[in-house]
Amino acid sequence: MSYRFNTALSFTQSVICGLVLSQQSFAASSTPVVVTATRTPIVNGSAITPTLVINRSDIELSQAQDLTQLLQFQAGLDIARNGGPGQTSSLFIRGTESNHTLVLVDGVEINPGTIGGAALQQINLDMVERIEIVKGPRSTLYGSDAIGGVIHIFTRRGGKGTSSQLKLGTGSDQTRTLSAAVRHDDGRFYGGVDLSLLNTGGFPARRGASTDSGYSNTSINARIGHRGKRFTTELSHWESRGNTEYFGFFLDPLDQDYQNAVSAFTVKGAINNRWGTTIKLSHMVDRIIQNQGGDFATTRRTVFDWQNDFQLNANNLVTVGALLSNQSTRATSFGNTLGEDIDENAAYAQLQSQHGRHQLTLGIRANNHDAFGSYTTWDTGYAYQATPALLLSAMVGTGFRAPDSTDRFGFGGNPNLEPETSRNIEWVARYQMGMGQTFSLSAFQNNLDQLISFDDPDGFLGPIPGRNKNIDKARIRGIEASYSLDRHPWKLNIQATLQDPENRNAGNQLARRAKQSLTVNAAYTGRHYRTGFDALVTSERPDSDFSNTVNSGYTLINFYAEKKLTPSWWLRGRIENLFDQNYTLADQFNTRGRAAFIEIQYKQTKDG
């Protein structure tokens, strides 16, 4: 594996050198605006904290069926998946835990309050306009769970006028897809509805199983809004629901129903030319119902979030906000029942300042949580524009994760648990090489403390029962390098991560987190077609803290293409796992071999 990784890295370096030398052959491109790093709109590439953007064009070309498949081809984001479509998935950003990533849908957290991270495998990409990924702690702006980073999903919106679309797809494993959308925007009133259906026979999720693990997903995204002279009001709803088949410990066939939903009412506008305000009232639901044994887990969370942005002068922007949250969790697992209602209040403030070549951000957040009382996080960042092309920056920040209901009241529950904490430091150099090319190099270290672990000194059947305690520590050190090219007709993104995710208690490598990963995302746009590929090379990683199993490194390549048949009709195709690589994401669980998919889409827009 080491030879394959080094060979791929050397090849990538040669590609970068060739592209830099030929930069004069490409034409200009636009730079996107991002909001996740600071909660305010900024030009991507100018922020102290780098943000990775996956836009709608990238999503359509990739033809990924869910968010997990898409994120797998981003270096530094390790994915573990218990089988195929719809199966439980975990995301590890820069070596942090799977429940250390905060996931937002249109600014609303969808992480459950019971156990584990957000249900990335249930997010149908037909509903998604773009995705912003911020690595490193963002607890100062977003609260609990944002220790490793933030994944922010923005759902589909229409442009001016009236648009409609219809898409049909089919492929391997008896996969069938159907999606339709209608959107309208006349400048004052706007709205739209997106509907998507996915059904697949799948393949056996567990090794040794003889029957397929089917999966169905029905997703809807709807909104209606009005733009007034000063304020815009909007009512929105996103929902994903369906059924997942899987296998129990003894390969007994099981299935569960799931629901993930976010409803929000948002008012946004300007009090005056220096004061902007956003009020968002949201309600989130995360529900799983096991259909054979009656186990279930439900989280309901209602949040009032009020953000105010004050432009003090041309150089200084202050953001001040308050958040009131009520969370209800109910669950039954293997006969153990829990229920908890949690109130959380928070206030946050951030200063963004720019003077000449110097940028500075300062942030602080005060949290008051029913489970553990008060807790404060902070972060600061400084950037220096050394030359018109070179930006140097450094960041220090803290993060935390509140113990969830299962930690406190499930098996081994301990109601006296404290928050898991982190302190991260990072240095970044970003060089704009001109002609749509950017090179970035970063070094980081994240120290994790108070990690919750099950402590059972006398063994499972011993006289003193085990329980959860804040006893584990971890340290993740790493270097990331990336090169991006966005010049017609080429688009290329290369990322490489070298990291050391270490369990400080045992002195070994953290489970399911690779030390080396490399990704290449490449696309070429012709007159009436586009084609490209995603490639991932990753090194070996231990499967679990409770076994000696090591999952081997692997190379995975997906190929895709699309053809514009008429101004309104598109034909797309994808070959997944092009070279039929046999690889493992989680021990005892299967992964998909070579598979093919095809879809046809109709799109029409009428100017308003």
- CATH number, domain of 36, equals 2.40.170.20
In a domain, 366, yes or no: yes
Total domains in the chain come to: 1
CA separation, residue 121 to residues 100, 241, 245, 409 (Å): 17, 11, 13, 26
Spatial separation of the C-alpha atoms in residues 42 and 317, rounded to whole Å:
12
In a domain, 100, yes or no: yes
At 510 the three-state DSSP class reads coil
- What token pair was written down for 69? 């498949």
pLDDT of residue 28 exceeding 50: no
Number of helices (H), then strands (E), in the chain: 5, 34
Residues facing residue 336 across a β-bridge: 333
Question: How does the average pLDDT of the chain come out, rounded?
Answer: 91
In a domain, 457, yes or no: no
CA separation, residue 284 to residues 111, 194, 278, 532 (Å): 9, 19, 19, 37
Contact present, 284 and 262 (Cβ < 8 Å)? yes
Let me know if 118 is exposed, middle or buried by CB neighbors in 10 A (0-12, 13-18, 19+): buried
In a domain, 284, yes or no: yes
Weakest mean pLDDT among 12-26, 71-85, 126-140, 200-214: 12-26
Question: Beta strands of 273-356 (E only): which ranges?
Answer: 275-290, 296-313, 316-333, 336-355
Percent of the chain past pLDDT 90, that is, above it, reads 84
In a domain, 454, yes or no: no
In 3D, which of 303, 322, 316, 227 has the Cα closest to residue 268?
227
pLDDT in tens, 400-446: 999 999 999 988 889 999 999 999 999 999 999 888 899 999 999 99
In a domain, 74, yes or no: yes
Spatial separation of the C-alpha atoms in residues 473 and 451, rounded to whole Å:
6
Q: What is the pTM of this model?
A: 0.93
Weakest mean pLDDT among 37-51, 204-218, 268-282, 398-412: 37-51
The reported pLDDT for the residue numbered 459 is: 62
In a domain, 462, yes or no: no
Percent of the chain past pLDDT 70, that is, above it, reads 93
Q: 170 lies in which domain range?
A: 2-446+468-606
In a domain, 458, yes or no: no
The reported pLDDT for the residue numbered 512 is: 96
